[in-house]
């Protein structure tokens, strides 16, 4: 790529991570005599990051950033496939609707039994989030409570409570 094309690609990036990666490529191209360590110190990154970024660019060409996605569920880095998670959540839903599951610890034990190893609390919350579950908590007042009577009681009750003798 020419220097003008690199500059155009650099200036058109919306995310900071894409901008930084293209900044490395532009810096290496526009400073042919500089070593990776010097470019890394100027850009406040590691020398290894310079080498890896340039290597990917040289191997894949100008479309090298289109395939890179950050975050999410990577192959081999998750306990269960989405299909297995759906199966697990279906069994948990049946237990929850029948009233067998009341607390988080019970759910975590069932998930660990299904997975076959210990999992973190965050994994359970992420599992709930992925499948549209939310934590249900008791309501703060009774649905048949008479709010007017409660307000009347607050207005007319004693302000100081003394022990009875």
**165 residues of the chain, pLDDT tens digit each:** 777 777 777 777 777 777 888 888 888 888 888 888 888 888 888 888 888 888 888 887 777 665 556 666 665 667 888 888 899 888 888 887 887 766 788 888 888 998 888 988 888 888 888 888 877 776 777 888 898 998 888 888 776 666 665
- What pTM does this model have? 0.44
> What pLDDT does residue 127 have?
86
What pLDDT is attached to residue 141? Answer: 77
Write down the domain spans for the chain.
3-63, 82-130
| Level-2 CATH architecture, domain 3-63 | Orthogonal Bundle (1.10)
In the chain, how many H helices and how many E strands?
8, 0
Exposure string of 104-124, with b = 16+ CB inside 10 Å and e = fewer, is eeebbebbeebeeeebeeebb
Measured from the Cβ of residue 64, the count of other Cβ atoms closer than 10 Å reads 17
**Residue 72 pLDDT:** 64
pLDDT tens for residues 96-107?
788 776 678 888
Residue pLDDT, tens place only, 41-55: 888 888 888 888 888
């Amino acid at each position: 790529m020419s220097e003008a094309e690199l500059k155009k690609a650099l200036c058109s990036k919306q995310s900071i991570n894409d901008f930084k990666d293209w900044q490395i490529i532009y810096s290496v191209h526009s400073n042919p005599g500089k070593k990776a360590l010097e470019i890394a110190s100027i850009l406040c990154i590691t020398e290894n990051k310079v080498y890896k970024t340039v290597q990917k660019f040289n191997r894949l060409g100008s479309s090298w950033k289109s395939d890179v996605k950050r975050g999410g569920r990577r192959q081999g880095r998750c306990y269960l496939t989405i299909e297995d998670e759906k199966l697990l959540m279906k069994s948990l839903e049946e237990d929850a609707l029948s009233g067998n599951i009341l607390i988080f610890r019970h759910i975590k034990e069932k998930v660990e039994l299904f997975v076959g190893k210990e999992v973190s609390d965050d994994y359970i919350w992420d599992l709930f989030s992925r499948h549209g579950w939310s934590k249900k908590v008791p309501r703060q007042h009774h649905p048949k409570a008479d709010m007017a009577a409660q307000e009347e009681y607050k207005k007319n009750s004693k302000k100081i409570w003394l022990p009875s003798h």
